[in-house]
Amino acid sequence: MQRLILASQSPRRKDLLTNMGFDFDIVVSDVEEKVTKTDPNEIVVELSKLKAHDVYDKVKPADGTLILAADTLVFLKNERLGKPADDKDAFRMLRELSGREHHVITGVTLIYQTNGKAEEYSFSEGTSVLFSELSDKEILDYIATGEPKDKAGSYAIQGKGAKFVKGINGDYSNVVGLPVPRLYEEMKAHGII
């Protein structure tokens, strides 16, 4: 791999990739996120594919270029909890998550340009997260920090929201926004690194 392009402006994904030791460029996808799938794992993969293809078409990459796109969503049962529309929506989501287990699923698509053609690989990774019981005051105080605004499920496990997490089963970095161990294994398995 000669060049890595991250199809995301997420500061969390930037940090995770940097911690993996990669240098990369950022090209943000502005594709409309329309989903046709209903299964949570298929939804996140579909969204990551949309972003990867959008950036691929923008960049027209040379051989040795890898485009990495990811999409992370929170699911409670099969209800999709995306980014909150406003504080009221954030309150609703956090109230629903209180005292319950939910799933954070990330879809990842890699498009690797090699020998004049694009090779594409996609996967999803899930992590279960258990929240403590939250009072309305705890939720309102957290919303007042501003942290829930751009976070799927209205919380950040790597930030102030960590205090609500009673336990996780699976990959922590996946909840942050990129399943680092799985990504590394996939890149090795496909001969990208």
Q: Could you write out the DSSP letters of every residue in 16-57? A: HHHHTT---EE------------SHHHHHHHHHHHHHHHHHH
Q: What is the pLDDT of residue 161?
A: 97
**Domains assigned to the chain:** 3-189 (3.90.950.10)
pTM score, whole prediction: 0.95
As given in the structure block, the two tokens for residue 48 are 């990551």
The pair of three-digit structure tokens given for residue 175, joined into one six-digit string? 């909840």
Distance CA 67, CA 79 (A): 29
Predicted pLDDT of residue 128: 98
Q: Which residues are catalytic?
A: 71
pLDDT in tens, the chain (193 residues): 999 999 999 999 999 999 999 999 999 999 998 999 999 999 999 999 999 999 999 999 999 999 999 999 999 998 999 899 999 999 999 999 999 999 999 999 999 999 999 999 999 999 999 999 999 999 999 999 999 999 999 999 999 999 999 999 999 999 999 999 999 999 999 999 9
What is the model's pLDDT at position 155? 98
